[in-house]
């Protein structure tokens, strides 16, 4: 990382310029990294500023330039008709109780980024993606066998993959539902989980309605994506910082965070608003590298606290 220092009075209170003139941060030993992106070094800072503690250094962000990105919190991953109660529901509760209200209060744009594949996108889908949702694994996937030895673990076709009908499901609250085609747009299984749908619906009457976008790969920030990057480039040009939550932490959330960072956005993982069914070490990897290589790691709790401090609500 290249840093450029101001020439005068270089000490802990003097901001250091990190990055090129078109996309720079400011850093001091006292306040950490300033990600508010003034147009020039002498520009009048936008207010309010939101201070956010992370696993490494404090950061300062501008709420009007920030989006809370909630990934794949859909019936496919959350409905009790398909999944047992677990950490994914705990992450949902944190979002509803903490992160979404804090974002609304601060004027942070909320973006729902969901699986929603079109028939044209399905026709061009790679074997890798189709394998990921159409096959089951038996045993561990950690060791490569020695040359000449056959690995005992097998992959078996489930009989149903992306685009296939999922059939009729019995809902926990009673009744049945046609789950629709797996991960395809406009189906029950790709709809927001009802508590989150209610949160989205409540935003529509506000000054800053939520945005729903679709993705058709693990990452929602690839160049060919129909969702996040085109929105940011065309409709959300003022947005500079993305706060990531959702499922699965180490897969769709982390993959989207990486690609968005490579495309030029500042990225922050809010780890208590995420969940994965992968082994624990996979989540640990995402959190470790999220704060080391791909931006910062914070929490929904820290976001809510930062908003309270910003609004002068602390007693």
Residue 259's domain is classified under what CATH number? 3.40.50.850
pLDDT of amino acid 66:
97
| Domain end call among 61, 89, 106 | 61
- For residues 100 and 57, state if they share a domain: no
Beta bridge partners of 4: 17
Strands 25-28 and 32-34, sheet pairing = antiparallel
pLDDT of amino acid 136:
87
In a domain, 167, yes or no: no
Tokens of 252: 């769709």
- For residues 72 and 201, state if they share a domain: yes
- For residues 87 and 131, state if they share a domain: no
Helix residue spans in 204-299 (DSSP H): 228-234, 254-262, 280-292
Does residue 100 carry a pLDDT above 60? yes
Does residue 4 carry a pLDDT above 80? no
Region 303-313 average pLDDT = 94
- For residues 74 and 104, state if they share a domain: yes
Whether the Cβ atoms of residue 163 and residue 136 lie closer than 8 Å to each other: no
What is the total residue count of the chain? 315
pLDDT of amino acid 168:
97
More confident residue, 15 or 245: 245
Does residue 244 carry a pLDDT above 50? yes
- For residues 118 and 224, state if they share a domain: yes
Residues 6+ apart with CB under 8 A from 75: 81, 82, 179, 188, 189, 190, 191, 192, 193
- For residues 204 and 243, state if they share a domain: yes
3-state SS assignment for residue 60: strand
Among 51-55, 189-193, 196-200, 309-313, where is mean pLDDT lowest?
309-313
Share of the chain above pLDDT 90, in %: 76
Beta bridge partners of 117: 184
Among 77-91, 108-122, 131-145, 230-244, where is mean pLDDT lowest?
131-145
In a domain, 310, yes or no: no
Strands 241-247 and 266-275, sheet pairing = parallel
pLDDT of amino acid 40:
82
Region 114-122 average pLDDT = 96
CB atoms closer than 10 angstroms to residue 23: 12
- For residues 113 and 241, state if they share a domain: yes
Confidence of residue 9 (pLDDT cuts 50, 70, 90): very low
Confidence of residue 236 (pLDDT cuts 50, 70, 90): confident
Classify residue 139 by burial, with Cβ atoms within 10 Å: 0-12, 13-18, 19+. exposed
Helix residue spans in the chain (DSSP H): 75-78, 87-94, 100-106, 119-123, 127-134, 194-203, 228-234, 254-262, 280-292, 300-310
- For residues 230 and 261, state if they share a domain: yes
More confident residue, 27 or 173: 27
pLDDT of amino acid 155:
86
| Domain end call among 26, 43, 61 | 61
pLDDT of amino acid 225:
64
Region 10-36 average pLDDT = 88
Does residue 1 carry a pLDDT above 60? no
- For residues 96 and 56, state if they share a domain: no
Confidence of residue 315 (pLDDT cuts 50, 70, 90): very low
Look up the domain containing 238 and give its range: 63-125+177-300
Determine if residue 286 is left, alpha or beta; phi over 0 gives left, psi from -120 to 50 gives alpha, anything else beta: alpha
- For residues 94 and 118, state if they share a domain: yes
pLDDT of amino acid 8:
47
Does residue 42 carry a pLDDT above 90? no
Region 55-81 average pLDDT = 97
Please state the domain count of the chain: 3
- For residues 67 and 140, state if they share a domain: no
As a whole number, the mean pLDDT across the chain is 91
DSSP states along 179-206:
--BTTBTTSGGGSBPHHHHHHHHHHTTS
- For residues 103 and 196, state if they share a domain: yes
Confidence of residue 6 (pLDDT cuts 50, 70, 90): very low
Tokens of 223: 């160049």
Name the strand (E) or helix (H) holding 18: strand 16-18
């Amino acid at each position: 990382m290249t840093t450029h220092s101001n020439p005068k009075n270089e000490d802990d209170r003097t901001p250091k310029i990190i990055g090129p003139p078109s996309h720079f941060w400011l850093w001091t030993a006292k306040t950490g990294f300033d990600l508010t992106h003034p147009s020039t070094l002498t520009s009048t800072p936008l207010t309010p500023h939101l201070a956010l503690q992370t696993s490494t250094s404090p950061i300062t962000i501008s709420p009007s330039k920030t989006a809370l990105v909630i990934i794949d919190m859909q019936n496919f991953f959350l409905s009790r008709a398909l999944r047992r109660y677990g950490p994914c529901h705990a992450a949902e509760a944190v979002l509803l109780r903490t992160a979404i209200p804090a974002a609304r209060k601060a004027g942070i744009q909320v973006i729902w980024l969901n699986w929603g594949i079109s028939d044209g996108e399905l026709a061009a889908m790679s074997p890798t993606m189709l394998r990921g949702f159409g096959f089951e694994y038996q045993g561990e996937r950690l060791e490569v066998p020695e040359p000449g030895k056959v690995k005992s673990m097998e992959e078996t076709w489930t009989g149903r993959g992306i685009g296939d009908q999922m059939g009729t499901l019995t809902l926990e609250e009673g009744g049945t539902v046609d789950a629709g085609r797996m991960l395809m747009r406009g189906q029950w299984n790709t709809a927001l989980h009802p508590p989150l749908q209610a949160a989205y619906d409540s935003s529509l009457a506000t000054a800053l309605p939520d945005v729903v976008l679709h993705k058709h790969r693990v990452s929602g920030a690839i160049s060919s994506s129909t969702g996040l990057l085109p929105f940011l480039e065309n409709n959300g040009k003022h947005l500079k910082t993305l706060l990531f939550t959702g499922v699965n932490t180490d897969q769709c959330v982390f993959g989207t965070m990486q690609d968005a960072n490579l495309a030029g956005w500042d990225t922050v993982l809010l780890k208590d608003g995420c969940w994965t069914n992968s082994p624990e070490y996979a989540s640990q990897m995402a959190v470790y590298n999220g704060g080391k290589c791909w931006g910062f790691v914070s929490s929904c709790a820290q976001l809510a606290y930062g908003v309270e401090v910003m609004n002068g609500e602390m007693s």
